[in-house]
């Protein structure tokens, strides 16, 4: 959390800007990193991992499937997707953003209500009870 002490003249700066979430990964390319024990993610819920400054939402489905997508919800500008309700629409696993209820497909990050705002997805694996994510 950051608090600016000087009140900024809000009206002075008009245009909305892209959010502050860091863009693609550093030049070195993605690397596999351990995130948490699998029991730390209750079935059909998500957690958020901070990997190299990037926020990644990791979900565990009741059938054991694991998915990782960006945590940033481009439709609300908030980092909240790990806190959405997990379910399916027409059999396709999705998470619903808690802010304005946009649905994102867990498999490919596509947004059902707004195809212009897909999310990056990340490889995820379970190794000896530990969840690993490539980011």
Partner 1 sequence: MHQQRLVVVGNGMVGHRFVQELLALHPDLPAAGLAVTVLGEEPRPAYDRVHLSSFFSGTSADELSLVEPGFYQRPGLRLRLNARVASIERRNNTLQLADGEVLAYDKLVLATGSYPFVPPVPGRERDACHVYRTIEDLEAMQASGARSASGVVVGGGLLGLECAKALRDMGLRTHVVEFAPRLMVAQVDDGGGRILRRKIEDLGVQVHTERNTAEITDGATARHRMVFADGSWLETDMIVFSAGIRARDELARRCLLAVGPRGGVVIDDHCRSSDADIYAIGECASWNEQVFGLVAPGYDMARVAARHIGGGADAAFAGADMSTKLKLMGVDVASIGDAQGRTRGALSCVFTDEIKQIYKKLVVSADRKRLLGAVLVGDAAEYGTLLQMMLNGIALPEAPEQLILPAADGAAKAGLGVDALPDGAVLCSCNNVSKGQLCAAVADGARTIGELKSATRAGTSCGGCVPLVTQVLNAELKRQGVEVTNHLCEHFPHSRQELYHLVRVGGIRSFAELLHRHGTGRGCDICKPVAASILASCWNDFILNQDQARLQDSNDYFLGNIQKDGSYSAVPRVAAGEITPEQLIAIGRIAKKYDLYTKITGGQRIDLFGAQVHQLPLIWRELVDAGFESGHAYGKSLRTVKSCVGSTWCRYGVQDSVGMAIRLENRYKGLRSPHKIKFGVSGCTRECAEAQGKDVGVIATERGWNLYVCGNGGMKPRHAELLASDLDEATLVRMIDRFLMFYIRTADRLQRTSTWRDNLEGGLDYLKAVILEDSLGLGAELEAEMAHVVGSYACEWKKAIEDPALLRRMRTFVNSDAADDNIVFVRERGQIRPATAAEKLQCFKGIAVVAETA
Which residues in this chain contact partner 1 in the complex, by CB under 8 A? 1-8, 10, 12-17, 19-23, 26-27, 34-36, 40-45, 47-53, 55, 58, 61-62, 72, 76-80, 83-91, 93-94, 96, 98-99, 101, 103
- Cβ-contact 54, 83 below 8 angstroms: no
Q: For partner 1, which is the closer residue by CB, 85 or 109? A: 85
CA distance 40 to 36: 7
Work out how close the CB of 118 gets to partner 1 at its nearest, in angstroms, rounded to a whole number. 19
- Give the C-alpha separation, 6 to 41, whole Å: 40
Nearby residues of 99 by Cβ (< 8 Å), 6 or more positions away: 73, 75, 76, 78, 80
Give 102 or 121: the residue with its C-beta nearer to partner 1: 102
Whole-number Å distance between alpha carbons of 135 and 45: 20
CB of 100 to partner 1, least distance (A): 9
CB of 1 to partner 1, least distance (A): 5
């Amino acid at each position: 959390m950051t608090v600016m002490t000087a009140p900024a003249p809000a009206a002075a700066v008009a245009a909305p800007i892209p959010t502050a979430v860091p863009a693609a990964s550093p030049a070195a390319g993605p690397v596999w990193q351990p995130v948490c024990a699998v029991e730390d993610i209750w079935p059909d819920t998500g957690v958020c991992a901070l990997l190299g400054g990037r926020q990644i939402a990791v979900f565990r489905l009741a059938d054991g499937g694991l998915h990782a997508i960006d945590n940033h919800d481009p439709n609300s500008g908030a980092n909240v997707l790990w806190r959405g309700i997990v379910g399916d629409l027409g059999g396709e696993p999705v998470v619903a953003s808690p802010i304005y209820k946009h649905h994102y497909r867990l498999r490919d990050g596509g947004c059902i209500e707004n195809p212009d705002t897909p999310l990056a997805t990340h490889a995820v694996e379970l190794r000896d009870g530990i969840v690993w994510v490539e980011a």
